[in-house]
């Protein structure tokens, strides 16, 4: 299982345009990243705020819905968040 995860992370890292990844725990603390610590914490905090705001909007529509995927595209970057059971993955 750990080998599969490492292979997937390597595949993400080598994709064109990918700056890096951050894996966060359920409260938004980075637990694994290939970015420097300050950048990993910055992305984790910003994405955690976006997720919290998105969850409020989602719950207003249907309280049983969950956020499983989040994609934000700007002029300069694209941030993708994928939710897991106990952690989430952020790709930049």
- Per-residue model confidence as pLDDT tens digits over 13-31: 778 888 889 999 888 899 9
| DSSP letter (8 states) at residue 64 | T
CA pair distance 66, 42, nearest whole angstrom: 24
Q: Considering the chain, what is the average pLDDT of its residues? A: 87
Q: Where are the alpha helices (DSSP H) in 1-92?
A: 2-13, 37-61
Give domain limits for the chain: 2-91
Please tell me the pTM assigned to this model.
0.82
CATH architecture under which domain 2-91 falls: 2-Layer Sandwich (3.30)
CA pair distance 61, 41, nearest whole angstrom: 31
| DSSP letter (8 states) at residue 30 | E
C-beta of residue 90 within 8 angstroms of C-beta of residue 69: no
Give the pLDDT confidence score for residue 1 in this predicted structure. Answer: 58
Neighbouring residues of 61: CB distance < 8 A, sequence distance ≥ 6: none
* Predicted confidence (pLDDT) per residue in 67-92, tens digit: 888 899 999 889 989 887 678 888 88
């Amino acid at each position: 299982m750990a080998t599969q995860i490492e292979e997937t992370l390597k595949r993400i890292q080598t994709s064109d345009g990918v700056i890096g990844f951050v894996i966060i725990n359920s409260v938004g603390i980075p637990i694994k990243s290939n970015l420097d610590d300050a950048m990993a914490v910055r992305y984790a905090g910003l994405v955690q705020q976006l997720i919290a705001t998105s969850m409020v909007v989602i719950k207003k529509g249907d309280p049983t819905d969950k956020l499983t995927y989040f994609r934000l595209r700007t002029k300069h970057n694209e941030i993708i968040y994928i939710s897991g059971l106990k952690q989430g993955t952020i790709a930049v």
